[in-house]
Structure 1
């Protein structure tokens, strides 16, 4: 299992967060698929966060509010 190196203090907080998220995800034995299913986000969204291309938001902690939203997110997660 490859664990990314410690973050460089001179890089942006967004990149540091993504690096730390990936490191802890791997240490916990989670795949991107498993984590995105738990967080109700797509794999591409998680990948963009881990690579510093997108900032995380608090809204993905709330999860879906309706069964139809839950189904859409589940389909996005499984097909991404």
Structure 2
């Protein structure tokens, strides 16, 4: 029975290691939506540029959706060219 328990423990560790990591926005703000809401509030307050920031947010949405944020790690950029 101990071997079954250790095998289950190992499978859990392997599955956790294989799970996709959270994006930097999900780590910092809880979700990309929360980040967008905060940026929109700053745009409305006049703190951020109302012309450039929506374009930047669209780029960040694409970056987050396609999980390009994980490409910064060494040698990971080439994975996206396949």
* TM-score w.r.t. length of structure 1: 0.30
Greater C-alpha Rg? 2
Structure ranking higher in helix proportion: 2
